[in-house]
Structure 1
Amino acid sequence: MAIPLLAYSPTCPNQRVDALGAPDDEAIIYSTDNQYSPTEMGDLINAAYRQIFFHAFRWDRETILESQLRNRQITVRDFIRGLLLSNTFIDSFYNKNSNYRFVEHCVQKVLGRKVYNEAEKIAWSAVVMTKGVKGFVDDLLNSEEYIENFGENTVPYHRRRTLPSRTLGETPFNITSPRYDGYYRAKLGFPQTIWQEVVRNFTSYENRPKNGDPSLFLNMARSVNTQGGNPGRTSVYDIDIEKSVPYRKR
């Protein structure tokens, strides 16, 4: 039995603060309202992949959805729904995370903001539990907040990355939020310290010794045995002079 979204009190994070006339770190907005050329439509599709997947390899791309969007058979909101319900997203974000972490990922990617508090995570997690992933995605995309900010034709983006009093903005969510939570990162062996050692011992090409540099022969020089052989100790009384001196017969 599906239950309605539980009530929670929205806090006041970055995106709820008015600009007050100060310059803001505005994200690039991609919308089919002003995208007409194939190149511009390709940029919009790539922006959607970056927002939802962070990066899409060739086998991650949904070519059928892309074709439908290019031909205006579906809206951007339908395209975002297809990406959220794709096998790649389900396997990478839903199967590898708890419901709370999955909700956090989806709110950041779909609504363009961080979750307000633990109460919001619990409320949306109850939707995942009762309606499943599809019902949860539909509720997010049909929410008043999504329609008001992105509508049918705009790719979701990181809203209000800076406050008027700050000089440095926030890093986008798709970069700061790991795809897997701590439990699954530990199971998969992340982080792998072997790469840390490689990076720590890396020497740039400019600092590497060139041909003829004496340091290149240091290991060879160290391998040479510098100790001479011990001379033989033979007493003169043990030398047979007659046999030692060559004798020539006539």
Structure 2
Amino acid sequence: MNHLNTITVSRRSSFEERQAALHQIYRQVLERQPYCYERKCLAAIEKDFLNDKIGVRRFLKELGHSNIYLNVFYFNASNLKFIEWCFKHFMGRAPLHQTEVQTSCDLLMKKGATALITAILDSEEYRKVFGCFTVPYPRQLQRYESPKAYWESHVLNHEYVGQRGHVVPTIYWHELGLNCDAGVCRHPEADEILDPPVSEAGEQLQEELLEMLRSMDVNQARKVVASLSPQQKAALRRAISA
């Protein structure tokens, strides 16, 4: 594992050390520091954390369950993208394989967003890696199930929220033929051939495709992406890039 940027607090940690840990938590989970009005909503749990009444894991659970986190990462995102973000923020990696994605998707659809976050924070892997007092950080595993799993974690941990949209997670980029390395998802031929103007019917198709991916579970979405015609994939690529 990569333990660079590891921050751990304990009963002996000073107020200043806890402030530094709090700053790092927001950087990892929100990918920014809270706005002024958000700090007011978080004031109670911030105070408990800084006064050593709760540890890192408890603070993470409260933050993840808050509307501040859910408004940014859940309510305006597809289920699959939200799952990907949860693993990034709380586990420091991307989902390892489709089984993990499917299990998370089932939990999310049956019990909701807060249940998924709780399951991650209560998992054996989380306890072994971070315990109750270490702030999660982007991890590099010693072993990956495939080169694709390594690539997905590497790219995900180095992107900013919204940089590649709120719908399609990294696990589908290659299936859509997208190149997202520069921060904007584009088809490799986009710079050589300009896309024709999108008609009203084409815009409706884009919206239907995006809405379809938002509402499906992981197996259904994979089948849909694989079965799209070149024209449909092109429409979806334009919608993602917009």
Please give the range of the TM-score, normalised by the shorter of the 2 chains: 0.5 to 0.7
Q: Is the 8 A contact 1:127 1:136 kept in 2?
A: yes
Select the structure of larger CA radius of gyration. Answer: 1
Instruction: Provide the rounded CA distance (Å) in 1 between the counterparts of 2:26 and 2:12.
Output: 17
Correspondent of 2:159 among 158, 175, 187: 175
Per the alignment, do residues 50 and 172 of structure 1 end up closer, same or farther by CA in structure 2, a change over 3 Å counting? Answer: farther
Q: Is the 8 A contact 1:30 1:154 kept in 2?
A: yes
SS in 1 for 2:112: helix
The answer for the alignment partner of 2:24 in structure 1 is 47
Q: Which moved more, 1:70-79 or 1:43-52?
A: 70-79
Q: CA RMSD in A?
A: 2.8
Give the counterpart letter for 1:175 in structure 2.
E
The answer for the alignment partner of 2:138 in structure 1 is 158
Runs of 4+, deviation exceeding 6 Å: none
**Pairing 1:32–2:17 present:** no
Per-residue CA shift, 1:44-84, capped at 9, x if unaligned?
00000011000122222311111001112111101001111
SS in 1 for 2:137: coil
Q: Is the 8 A contact 1:26 1:161 kept in 2?
A: no
The answer for the alignment partner of 2:58 in structure 1 is 78
The answer for the alignment partner of 1:60 in structure 2 is 38
Per the alignment, do residues 86 and 111 of structure 1 end up closer, same or farther by CA in structure 2, a change over 3 Å counting? Answer: same
The answer for the alignment partner of 2:198 in structure 1 is none
Contiguous gaps of at least 5 residues in structure 2: 144-153, 169-183, 185-242
Of Structure 1 and Structure 2, the greater helix share is in 2
Q: Is the 8 A contact 1:65 1:82 kept in 2?
A: yes
Per-residue CA shift, 1:75-96, capped at 9, x if unaligned?
1101001111111111111001
User: What displacement does 1:117 show?
Assistant: 2.2
Instruction: Provide the rounded CA distance (Å) in 1 between the counterparts of 2:14 and 2:30.
Output: 24
Instruction: Provide the rounded CA distance (Å) in 2 between the counterparts of 1:172 and 1:30.
Output: 21
Q: Is the 8 A contact 2:15 2:51 kept in 1?
A: no
Instruction: Provide the rounded CA distance (Å) in 1 between the counterparts of 2:17 and 2:129.
Output: 21
Work out which structure has the larger RCO, using CA pairs closer than 8 Å and 6 or more positions apart in sequence.
1
Instruction: Provide the rounded CA distance (Å) in 2 between the counterparts of 1:142 and 1:50.
Output: 21
Per-residue CA shift, 1:181-203, capped at 9, x if unaligned?
158xxxxxxx8xxxxxxxxxxxx
User: What displacement does 1:171 show?
Assistant: 6.4
Per-residue CA shift, 1:93-123, capped at 9, x if unaligned?
1001111111110011111111112332121
